Each structure stands twice: as C-alpha cells, then as structure tokens.
Structure 1
Amino acid sequence: MPHLTLEYTANLGLDADAALLALNHALAGSGLFEEADIKSRAVPLHSFRSGTAATPRAFAHARLALMPGRDAASKRHLADALLAALSAQVSSPGLETQLCVELQEIEADCYAKEYRHG
C-alpha cells in the first residue's frame, strides 16, 4: 500500500515512466510509506472529452488509494507533493490543461494482500 493510478489524456507531453518515478519519489519522500510498498500505474486516455467547447484541452488525474489512519494535514501534504511532482512532468503547450490529485481511503476490512519472495 499505497496504490497510485495516473490517468492522463494522450495529447499531453508526458513520459509515463518518468512521471510514475517522480510520483513514487514524492510518496517515498513523505516518510509515510515503505518504498517497496508503493505501487503505481499509468493509463493513457485516447478517448476523452473535457467540457463542451472545441478548445484543445487535456488533463491528468492521479488517484492515490491508501489505508485509513492519516490525519488531514498528512493527506493534504501528500496531495500537494503529488501535484507538484505531476506538474513538473507535464508539458502541454497550446492546451488548456487541468492536473488534479485525489486521495481515497480504502476500507481496511475489504483489503487483502499477500507477499511472495522468490
């Protein structure tokens, strides 16, 4: 835990691997997670719509799923750190672009995990 999913419109200038690494570093740097427990993935969106105008637009949405137990200040710090890391990775010349981060707590009773080594 945690799980980070980055959805982004395919028209963004985004190196998904570099973005995931930067986001993972932001999470590891928070001191709230073990480095090996951070899992992230990127999903490019080839079919998308932002609003109704014909204006060229793009977006990226990072959703962080984590176990409960962190206070509001820690969650705000995580959201801000992830947004800063994402912003540094996105190039969107000529596009109206929205970047956002969402933190979502997982219900601990409904989560199962298994470790395997070897």
Structure 2
Amino acid sequence: MPHIIIEYTDNIKDEIQIDGLLRKVNDVLISYPSIFPIGGIRSRAIELKHYRVADGTEDDAFVHAILKIGAGRQDSDKIKVCDHLFETMESHLASLFSKRYLALSMELTEFSDVGTYKKNNIHNRYNK
C-alpha cells in the first residue's frame, strides 16, 4: 500500500495525459517514504466508457481518484498526503478545467488489518 486508482470519463482521454498524471501521483506518494514504503506504491487508471454526469445533456466529464492505504497512519499525515495529491491533480487538470465542464474528486479508503492480505518482494529492492 498505497494504491491509487484514477477513474476518468472517455470523453477526455485525448486531453488528460493519463500517463503523466499517474507519474505525478506516484511521485507525490514516493516523496513521503516515512509514511509509505516505495515498494508498495501502485497507481492505475480506468477509462470509463459507460457513465452519466448530471442530467446527461452536456458532454460533462469527471475524474475520481481513490487512495487506498493500510491502517495505522496519523490523521495529520493522511491530510498532508491527500492535500498534496489533490493539488497535484488540480494542477495537472487545470487546462481541462479552463476548456470544459469537469468534476474532480478524491477519496481516501483505509483498510483495517483484518481482511487485508499482501505478499510483495518488491520491498526487498528498497531495503538494501
């Protein structure tokens, strides 16, 4: 952990520069190594083809990010990271906001220790 999943409507696929956004959100998470081990960071994007925004009468778009983390981090750390992530997404999407109707949202999901299973040898590379 953490994992960040970015859902976006397909009507912005040519403008969102999703690979760049994924790199930027990973860079944000990597910049907090005392909060998140680098080997556990994963980001992915899901282009949505079936969706409806508002009353459906316009070509509205949205981007929604879900940050999933394991339990046990301080609230102040979670707020700091989420603020940084959201500001990064806002900055990346600023040109889209100036051209079209767009909704941006983000949520934090914190897993409990019960019911979460992980096996990851990527950490070994960073623990040397």
TM-score by length of 2: 0.81
Which of residues 34, 37, 40 in structure 2 aligns to 1:34? 37
How many angstroms apart in 2 are the aligned matches of 1:46 and 1:88?
A: 25
How many angstroms apart in 2 are the aligned matches of 1:2 and 1:25?
A: 12
2:89 equivalent to 1:86: yes
Deviations 1:52-92 (A, max 9, x none): 15133111111011011122222111211111121222242
How many angstroms apart in 1 are the aligned matches of 2:79 and 2:88?
A: 14
Moved more, 21-30 or 71-80: 71-80
1:109 is paired with a residue of what secondary structure?
coil
- Higher share of residues assigned helix: 2
Work out whether residues 6 and 46 of structure 2, in 8 Å CA contact, stay in contact via their aligned partners in 1.
yes
Deviations 1:20-66 (A, max 9, x none): 11001111113311222101110011221111151331111110110
Question: Structure 2: where are the runs of 5+ without partners?
Answer: 123-128
Per the alignment, do residues 116 and 29 of structure 1 end up closer, same or farther by CA in structure 2, a change over 3 Å counting?
A: closer
Kindly tell me the number of residue pairs found equivalent between the two proteins.
117
Q: CA deviation at 1:107?
A: 1.8
Which of residues 1, 23, 26 in structure 2 aligns to 1:24? 26
AA in 2 matched with 1:25: D
Question: Structure 1: where are the runs of 5+ without partners?
Answer: none
Superposed CA RMSD: 1.7
TM-score by length of 1: 0.88
* Alignment correspondent of 1:61: 64
How many angstroms apart in 1 are the aligned matches of 2:76 and 2:11?
A: 34
2:119 is paired with a residue of what secondary structure?
coil
Moved over 6 A (4+): none
Identity of aligned residues (%): 29
